[in-house]
Amino acid sequence: MPCGQVDRGRYMLFSSITFLYYFLPVTLTVYFLTPKKRKNLVLLFASLLFYGWGEPKYVAIMLLSIAVQYAFGLIIEKHRHETQAKAWLAASVAFSLGLLGYFKYMDFFIANFNAVTGLSVPLLRISLPIGISFYTFQILSYTIDVYRGDVKAQRSLVKLATYIALFPQLIAGPIVRYADVAAALESRTHSVRRMRLGLGRLMIGLSKKVLIANSLGELCALFGETQNETVLFAWMYAAAFTLQIYFDFSGYSDMAIGLGRMLGFDYMENFNYPLVSKSITEFWRRWHISLGSWFRDYLYIPLGGNRVTNRRWLFNIFAVWMLTGLWHGAAWNFVLWGLLFAVFLVLEKFWIGQRLAAAPGILSHAYVLIIVGVSFVLFDAPSLTEAVRRLGLMAGAGGIPLTDTVSLYYLRSYAVTFLLAAIGSTPWPKHVAERLRTGRIGQRTLGLAEPVVAIVLLLAITAYLVDSSFNPFLYFRF
């Protein structure tokens, strides 16, 4: 599950037999057979079913949020040229952030309040509605854009609800701006070409998630359980988690983009090979682009962006990155994770940016990969203490051995996966394919290979999913 969303309860994953072989075939069949003017209704119903599969009662929370923001959107637009529009916008933002704050951050605030005051206010132990971070930001972008006059308020509750609840991007992004899909909500095209491209993207995303990310996740879990602490295993874990989170999250984005394309929607790219970056500044232009641009457009620029004094700019950067970290999860290690990036962004702007640009590529790549790897160790740890312990293992703290039988075994086992993940995280495969496509023979070869590869991937993905319920016993006794 991508960044920071705490996996509470059950929900329908794209990478599940239920979704791939039950929900999606039925949804697509009904969708394409439905007349144009009812297609949004079909998508809305399917999306609510998709969402309700995980937590039926939280469908009500999302529908309430949609209904309230629908009303706010209309009111804000009606009064857009009046001073009260700002008050209505503030109410809209307060409502959205209030819901998010209650479900996601209340226990975090209570725990810290207790720590500071010495009181023992009981925690509420509220389970987190899946996707609330994503759809809340989508809703906020809608009402803010209406206030700014960038978009017209949506008059149809069904269309607005479809935009917010649409299942391809609902639980894991990308964070879709209303402006990007407003036209498609009214009228969109479907074609075999779009279907082909969407299918291909879906298969790529599923492969990234099921074949690579999940496998690397197993190695991370083994690290968490092992009693054999070595420097090698610690670094393998850091590399595995960095690659896992990239393939998991970018895989979900690929699936969302692919599904959207099949349904007539065009979503923005959310990842642009971030692991080839040569600076942290560049990394964040390539990683979770929809989140970065959201914070830029709705927080950083309204705060003044970089068109302010250096002191104010520093405040803006640290505020935005603290909140970016907090968006990922309600815990101090997420906040520190965000602030870590703020520190490096500042360093690059004022001191090392030019040096990095002039440095050999391999050094600047290594710089980014080490910082990102360390940051994700911080991100993944269940507590700050554990984060420090794991980082210590990477540095050989406690005199732990460099390697042992266990870590070498897993290095041998995962070597090919690491290699494939490393290559897959670069644009090389794409460049190779584009080069082949320029020639006639290459074009023909790719044309023939495409369905074969897609079918092989579908079968491999299915095989991995089916095997995930493997649960053996040694003896028959039933």
- Return the active site residues: 328
Identify the H or E element spanning 76.
Answer: helix 58-78
Of residues 15, 43, 50, 55, which one binds another protein by CB under 8 A?
A: 55
Q: Which of 72, 163, 287, 414 binds another protein (CB under 8 A)?
A: 414
Among the listed ranges 240-248, 277-285, 309-317, 462-470, the one in contact with another protein (CB under 8 A) is: 462-470
The candidate with the shortest Cα–Cα distance to 88, out of 98, 103, 97, 78, is 78
Q: How many CB atoms lie within 10 A of CB 351?
A: 10
Residue type at position 259 = L
Contacting another protein within 149-208 (CB under 8 A): 191-193, 195-196, 199, 203
Q: Whole-number minimum distance, CB 253 to another protein, in Å?
A: 21
Are 220 and 239 in contact, with CB atoms under 8 Å apart? no
Residues 6+ apart with CB under 8 A from 247: 208, 209, 212, 213, 216, 421, 424, 425
Name the packing angle between helices 24-33 and 39-54 (round to 10°): 160
Pick 117 or 191: Cβ nearer another protein: 191
- CA-to-CA distance for 2 and 15, rounded, in angstroms? 13
Region 220-279 residues binding another protein, contact defined as CB under 8 A? 226-228
Q: What's the closest the beta carbon of residue 247 comes to another protein, in angstroms?
A: 14
Dihedral pair phi/psi, residue 194, rounded to 5°: -65, -40
For residues 302 and 447, which CB has a smaller minimum distance to another protein in the complex? 447
Residue keyed to tokens 């039950």: 22
Q: Does 355 bind another protein (CB under 8 A)?
A: no
Measured from the CB of residue 229, what is the shortest distance to another protein in angstroms? Answer: 12
Does 12 interact with another protein (rule: CB under 8 A)? yes
Type of residue numbered 166: L
Q: How far is the CB of 317 from another protein (least distance, A)?
A: 42
- Residue whose CB is less far from another protein, 355 or 444: 444
CB closer to another protein out of 352 and 458: 458
Q: Which residues contact residue 36 at a Cβ distance below 8 angstroms, ignoring those fewer than 6 apart?
A: 187
- Angle (nearest 5°) at CA 458 between 455 and 460: 110
Q: Give the integer Cα–Cα distance in Å for 290 and 170.
A: 13
> Given candidates 50, 53, 249, 265, which one binds another protein under the rule CB under 8 A?
53
State yes or no: residue 7 binds another protein (CB under 8 A).
no
**Least distance CB 196 / another protein (angstroms):** 5
- Helices first, then strands: H and E counts in the chain: 23, 0
Q: Restricting to residues 417-436, name those near another protein by CB under 8 A.
A: 417, 420
Q: Which of 36, 57, 125, 440 binds another protein (CB under 8 A)?
A: 57
Stretch that binds another protein, among 77-85, 157-165, 276-284, 450-458 (CB under 8 A): 450-458
Q: Is 383 exposed, middle or buried (0-12, 13-18, 19+ CB in 10 A)?
A: exposed
Q: Interface with another protein includes 471 (CB under 8 A)?
A: yes
Residue 85, interface with another protein (CB under 8 A)? no
Residues that bind another protein (rule: CB under 8 A) add up to a total of: 62
Question: How many other C-beta atoms can be found within 10 angstroms of the C-beta atom of residue 441?
Answer: 8
302 binds another protein per the rule CB under 8 A: no
The footprint of another protein (CB under 8 A) covers 9-10, 12, 16-18, 20-22, 25, 53-57, 191-193, 195-196, 199, 203, 215, 226-228, 405-406, 408-409, 412-417, 420, 447, 450-451, 454-455, 458-460, 462-478
